[in-house]
Structure 1
Amino acid sequence: MAQASQQFGEWPLKRLMTEVVGSGHKSAEDMDRDQAREAFQRILAGEPDPTTLGAFWLANRWKRNSPEELAAYTDVMREESVDVAAPDADPVDCGANYDGKHSTAILGVAAGAVAAAAGTPVVVHSGDRVPTQKLDAYKHVLDELGVRTELEPEESADMVDQIGFGYYYQPAFNPGVDDLWERRDMMGVRSFVNTVETLANPADADVHLGSFYHLAFAEKTVDTFRAVQAQDVSRVLMFQGQEGYDDIRPGSTVVAEWGSVRSTDESASGEGSDPRAGEDLADFEIETANYGMDFSGEDLEVEDIAEDSATITEEVLAGDRDDQFADAVAVNAALRMYAREDVDSLEDGLDAARETIESGDAADVLDDLRAF
């Protein structure tokens, strides 16, 4: 893994604050790629004064980062902090918010296990109590399930190849960003680091799955991937997520897709759109009730996120539940299969998810994860 460079250019964060990003949310300008690269190199190296660093993060939050800036940050992170360990399988990279959920169950472990059992390898990654929320994330559900999570990157890659589902632990694969934990915690609000850490892609996957509150964020994410130089993501699937996580929101929900991992130009969308036409982002709206999720987001609320999510995961995979959680897991598994274009439509993915649960293959994935 590359180490943060100690050789910098002419743009310390204080100068960037004074001359570019710090004049106010209306008058501030965007940085060019070189300026943004240097800024994040300095941050990873621990060079800025803490006051200047906090001001820089806050100024970026006010003005909002451009895709070019986010791509530059992501490139520096990948080059100087991320220890990439690519499995032989080409998984779907699930980029959920690292700072966790506060109200509803985390369904991505169960959905990922179902997708893996159906032949779609899945990777998830998170830290441990990441600011600002510092709530339960993927790690804590897996811990409750008795799955080993504090893995080195190569172990995570082996997990993907052996089981079809893999977990990457941020302190092991992205230590430079993990070292920013205290400074991020002192900020009290999210910064652009919360965005770019979800794009770390430690398995070097071709497909990214993520979520958004508003479609504009999906557009920005795709434009960021277009501009990124340190990785090559060829397909993005995003949807309106529950609590900003990679669990789809029940109800009328927007899904956005871009690119393809297929060798033909034939669209995989079951909704009549062609995400590859002109390399534009395509979006369509679905009613989740048409896919078995005929309930509200409140129906997915739990009291203890990690413990209850683990129990739900066990029971759904064992075929012991026939309720809103089982329906939501099946739809989220279908989205992961569709993201990788292993199925031609969400309906096909839903059928495959339900068959996989009924056969016991999904429960076998959880057994294998515990034994790893």
Structure 2
Amino acid sequence: MAVVESEFGEWPLKRLMTEVVGTGTKSAEDMTREQASEAMRRILAGEPDHTTLGAFWLANRWKHNNAEELAAYADVMAEHVEYAEPDADPVDCGANYDGKGTTAILGVAAGVVAAAAGTPVVVHSGDRVPTQKQDAYKHVLDELGVRTELDPEESADMVDDTGFGFYYQPRFNPAIHALWERRDNMGVRTFVNTIETIANPANASVHLGSFYHLAFAKKMVNTFEASEHHDLDRVLMFQGMEGYDDIRPGYTKVAEWTTGDDGETTFDDFDIETAEYGMDFEYDDLGVDEDDVAGDSAEITEAVLAGEREDRFADAVALNAALRIYAREDAETIDEGLEMARETIASGDAEAVLEDLRDF
């Protein structure tokens, strides 16, 4: 095929489809880092024809992106992100932006508890992101009366002032937000749904995320390792409810990646029985009204932080807070983190952080 010359390079998406990724599920090949980087630059510049872009996204979904491709996509995205680092080094919580539809969103409550216990936490999301377009972090905070449509520097100040911070995708990652309509017309998730969760707008050194299968957690760790932008010390991922960063009740797998002082990395996985940590109930017990996930989640958050609930939701919030505390190594064990979380709720410190957020 003749070389294609352009301001981007030699690999327009149509050529990548014809020669590399679009030939079929068995014959498709992986892209080089250079090819994937060029593809992402073209996408963010709005260069591809809409039909070609949709075909490219779908071909990537069928083929399954490897870590090198995801790292290339993420690094190009990072060129467009407006980073704002707080003085604190928080835990970056990157839940699926397209939200939850049946169970409570516990990450706000868990993050606030962790923050009150001395572990700063950052969360980030968009607003009704495709494909599910369901409730996410932003919508719970809106229901709680916390400002969410913040510029990145304001988000960093929120972290330093309260211990908990929210970063709003349209403000810190406008290039990805600009793809909303194209993503919505796809009807299925694309690799953009994956990389937006690791934007890490606060440049935190610890990332907490979720997975359906352990193989995905390993792929995400390999993505961080292959990234030329990210420089993380620790990654903690677990089997989350609805793909979100709320740990599911029952027998749960946890993946842990750490960089040692000598620069050597380790990847381990272990199982926890959540009943041993107070979550002795079933998945459906954390369900809420499907027509008002954000509203119900906000009410649960208020009641748990005020110490007015000592039920399954309080247990789930405490355990999720413990994992955030453990992720940053502010507790040596999950048990120790759980004790810190429960003491923080009982003392009223967690409720005070929520009030600080409302006043910010």
TM-score range, shorter chain: over 0.9
Once the 2 structures are TM-superposed, how far is the Cα of residue 234 of structure 1 from its aligned partner? 1.6
Match of residue 269 from structure 1: none
Q: Aligned partners of 1:25 and 1:103: how far apart in 2?
A: 33
Match of residue 281 from structure 1: 267
Once the 2 structures are TM-superposed, how far is the Cα of residue 297 of structure 1 from its aligned partner? 0.8
Once the 2 structures are TM-superposed, how far is the Cα of residue 207 of structure 1 from its aligned partner? 0.4
Could you say what secondary structure the match of 2:319 adopts? helix
1:151 aligns with 2:150: yes
Q: Aligned partners of 2:101 and 2:25: how far apart in 1?
A: 30
Q: Aligned partners of 1:159 and 1:26: how far apart in 2?
A: 49
Match of residue 32 from structure 2: 32
Match of residue 113 from structure 2: 114
1:349 aligns with 2:348: no
Question: How do 1:33-48 and structure 2 match up within 5 A?
Answer: 33-48=33-48
- Count of aligned pairs between the two proteins: 353
Q: Aligned partners of 1:253 and 1:230: how far apart in 2?
A: 31
Question: How do 1:137-216 and structure 2 match up within 5 A?
Answer: 137-216=136-215
Q: Aligned partners of 2:12 and 2:149: how far apart in 1?
A: 35
Once the 2 structures are TM-superposed, how far is the Cα of residue 25 of structure 1 from its aligned partner? 1.1
Provide Cα deviations, 1:280-301, integer angstroms capped at 9, x if missing partner.
Answer: 3100000000000000110000
Provide Cα deviations, 1:244-267, integer angstroms capped at 9, x if missing partner.
Answer: 10000100000010014x75x8xx
Match of residue 299 from structure 1: 285
Q: Aligned partners of 1:161 and 1:232: how far apart in 2?
A: 21
Q: TM-score, normalised by structure 2?
A: 0.97
Q: Aligned partners of 1:360 and 1:255: how far apart in 2?
A: 30
Q: Aligned partners of 1:182 and 1:160: how far apart in 2?
A: 31
Provide Cα deviations, 1:165-204, integer angstroms capped at 9, x if missing partner.
Answer: 0000000000000000000000000000000000100000
1:328 aligns with 2:316: yes
Q: Match for 2:25: what amino acid?
A: H
Q: Aligned partners of 2:48 and 2:232: how far apart in 1?
A: 31
Match of residue 72 from structure 1: 72
Q: Aligned partners of 1:290 and 1:259: how far apart in 2?
A: 25
Q: Aligned partners of 2:310 and 2:331: how far apart in 1?
A: 24
Instruction: Calculate the aligned-residue CA RMSD, in Å.
Output: 1.1
Q: Aligned partners of 1:293 and 1:82: how far apart in 2?
A: 37
Q: Aligned partners of 1:62 and 1:155: how far apart in 2?
A: 40
Match of residue 227 from structure 1: 226
Q: Aligned partners of 2:228 and 2:187: how far apart in 1?
A: 31
1:317 aligns with 2:305: yes
Match of residue 99 from structure 2: 100
Once the 2 structures are TM-superposed, how far is the Cα of residue 7 of structure 1 from its aligned partner? 3.0
Q: Match for 1:281: what amino acid?
A: F
Q: Match for 2:282: what amino acid?
A: S
Match of residue 366 from structure 1: 354
Q: Match for 2:17: what amino acid?
A: M
Match of residue 326 from structure 2: 338
Q: Aligned partners of 2:266 and 2:315: how far apart in 1?
A: 31
Could you say what secondary structure the match of 1:280 adopts? strand
1:59 aligns with 2:59: yes
Q: Where does structure 2 lack aligned partners over 5 or more consecutive residues?
A: 1-5
Match of residue 240 from structure 1: 239
Once the 2 structures are TM-superposed, how far is the Cα of residue 16 of structure 1 from its aligned partner? 0.3
Provide Cα deviations, 1:104-156, integer angstroms capped at 9, x if missing partner.
Answer: 00000000000000000000000000000000000000000000000000000
Once the 2 structures are TM-superposed, how far is the Cα of residue 227 of structure 1 from its aligned partner? 0.5
Q: Aligned partners of 2:234 and 2:24: how far apart in 1?
A: 35
1:132 aligns with 2:118: no
Match of residue 3 from structure 2: none
Once the 2 structures are TM-superposed, how far is the Cα of residue 26 of structure 1 from its aligned partner? 1.1
Q: Aligned partners of 2:203 and 2:163: how far apart in 1?
A: 15
Q: Match for 2:354: what amino acid?
A: L
